[in-house]
Amino acid sequence: MPNNPATTSRRAVLRLLAGSLAGSFFAPFARAAGADDPMLRALIEQNQRRELGEDFDSASRTIHMPKASLPTLSPSTVDTTEQAAGQYEGLVAHGGWPKVPPTDRLRLGNRHPSVLVLRKRLIISGDLEANAGDGDIFDSYVEAAVRRFQARHGITIDGVVREATFDRLNVPAAVRLTQLRTNIGRLKAATAHLPSRYVMVNIPAAQVEAVDDGVVASRHTAVVGRPSRPSPDVNSKIIEINFNPYWTVPVSIVRRDLIPVMQKDPNYLANEHIRIFDAHHNELTPSQINWNSNDAVNYSFKQDPGSFNSLGVVRIQFPSPDGVYMHDTPEKNLFGDDMRFDSSGCVRVQNVRQLVYWLLRDTPGWPPEQIDAVIKSGERIDAKLAKPVPVYWVYITAWATPDGVVQFRDDIYNKDGVGQYTTSWKG
């Protein structure tokens, strides 16, 4: 069947646009796919072994995933983010990208009209090669491109297009350009005087990085403050690690959470191992408090150490006018969510023990085996860092690392001025 001239023309224009972008800022994308991601390589090999017919072309990709060792904050990130903004200006001037018609789910092997638009969308943003086909079958090329898109937007990387991926695919290019421009100033401010060794929390990404000499030594998934109780910006120094800590319930949580809970469940404090003290450190029973008033805010509520403790087994302390800190949590399931905005301002850290090893690396008497032993003992012990480590909590929703990968996160606290596209969060 002969080609439709109009269709051929549209394809030519699309490939020309994608090619012009790839020839400049997006050129670093054109490397071996999965070179830095063993899991992605394994999945590609698995796809290559599938007997799905000639339409499922599993040839090698040349578009790579974000590189795990590159920190969010660095002077070079400022430069590449400025370059990305310039390229997005050109992209927007050419009409941006099409809206992908949402459907219940798109995954490897599906044939659907939306796949045609999905291909165009992924080509324009540099996630899919322009010569990777143009059919309506969700093939292995598209799956790898979707995985890369998901990685760049901080959502579950499974190669399946569901609501969360559709939401981000359909944020207009002009909105992404606004985010890039807005974040250039934030990046410049945050990277002006970076030390060689520091901890960074990117609040919108709900992620922690421990950085040594411009390289991420460890990266941790985090849970940060919900929009109604946001995590603040922080510029401080970590001075102490508290093992098996008590948790003193903040007055704000007593007022907003504890009083309503006790009205419904009088046994809550006992079940959660939380004790009540007056101003003279005398312990009271819950029955001595009038829970139908604000009387409880006049007392201290202290949760005993243990696996049930809201801070888990570790608290990372630094001076903060907002009284925030970083800590472990017994609610490990929260780290599996895409939208990890569930705290009252503090930051919960996945695999926090690994971060503590790194923080206490230069503190005599605190090798990893000692840290493990203290945690296992359940004993309340503090470890002061021999040299305080700078810590920064920042609000970065768009950035481009030196490998040429542009990343975006939801504007969860509505600081970017992007209106209805503030966040895809339904919580």
pLDDT digits (tens, 9 = 90+) for 58-96: 333 456 666 778 899 999 999 999 999 999 999 999 999
Angle at Cα 393 formed by Cα 389 and Cα 396, nearest 5°?
135
Q: Are residues 40 and 110 in the same domain?
A: yes
Q: Are residues 157 and 44 in the same domain?
A: yes
Give the residue, 5 or 320, on which the prediction is more confident.
320
CATH number for position 54: 1.10.101.10
Q: Are residues 164 and 235 in the same domain?
A: no
Q: Are residues 223 and 262 in the same domain?
A: yes
DSSP 8-state secondary structure symbol assigned to residue 63? B
The structural domain count of the chain equals: 2
204 in a structural domain: yes
What pLDDT is recorded for position 134? Answer: 86
| pLDDT for residue 223 is more than 90 | yes
310 in a structural domain: yes
Q: Are residues 153 and 245 in the same domain?
A: no
d(CA 60, CA 68): 21
Q: How confident is the model at residue 23 (pLDDT cuts 50, 70, 90)?
A: very low
Among 64, 153, 220, 327, the one annotated catalytic: 327
CB 148: neighbour CB atoms within 10 A? 28
Q: Are residues 216 and 130 in the same domain?
A: no
d(CA 412, CA 416): 9
Among 171, 204, 225, where does a domain finish? Answer: 171
Mean pLDDT of 150-171: 96
> In this structure, what token pair is assigned to residue 348?
């919960």
Does the pTM exceed 0.75? yes
Mean pLDDT of 45-70: 48
- Domain limits at 33? 5-65+97-171
Q: Are residues 265 and 159 in the same domain?
A: no
Q: Are residues 151 and 34 in the same domain?
A: yes
**What strands lie across the sheet with 300-303, from one edge to the other?**
247-248, 300-303, 274-277, 283-284
| pLDDT for residue 291 is more than 50 | yes
Measured CA to CA in angstroms, residue 48 lies from 32, 52, 57, 59, 88 at distances of 16, 9, 8, 8, 34
Q: Are residues 139 and 253 in the same domain?
A: no
Q: Is 346 a residue of the active site?
A: yes
| pLDDT for residue 97 is more than 70 | yes
Among 140, 171, 202, where does a domain finish? Answer: 171
Q: Are residues 308 and 373 in the same domain?
A: yes
What pLDDT is recorded for position 38? Answer: 45
313 in a structural domain: yes
Mean pLDDT of 341-367: 96
198 in a structural domain: yes
Angle at Cα 279 formed by Cα 274 and Cα 282, nearest 5°?
60
User: Residue 157 contacts by C-beta under 8 Å, 6 or more apart in sequence?
Assistant: 147, 150, 151
86 in a structural domain: no
Q: Is 64 a residue of the active site?
A: no
277 in a structural domain: yes
Nearest alpha-carbon partner for 173 in 408, 343, 6: 408
261 in a structural domain: yes
Q: Are residues 23 and 149 in the same domain?
A: yes
> In this structure, what token pair is assigned to residue 57?
């072309």
| pLDDT for residue 21 is more than 70 | no
What pLDDT is recorded for position 39? Answer: 41
CATH number for position 267: 2.40.440.10
CB 374: neighbour CB atoms within 10 A? 19
Among 64, 153, 220, 346, the one annotated catalytic: 346
Mean pLDDT of 49-55: 34
Mean pLDDT of 392-405: 95
What pLDDT is recorded for position 198? Answer: 98
Question: Helix 75-93 to helix 173-191 angle, to the nearest 10 degrees?
Answer: 160
146 in a structural domain: yes
Judged by DSSP in three states, 191 sits in helix
Quote the mean pLDDT of the chain. 86
Q: Are residues 167 and 282 in the same domain?
A: no
Quote the strand ranges of 144-233, DSSP E.
Answer: 197-202, 207-212, 215-225
Question: Helix 38-49 to helix 140-152 angle, to the nearest 10 degrees?
Answer: 160
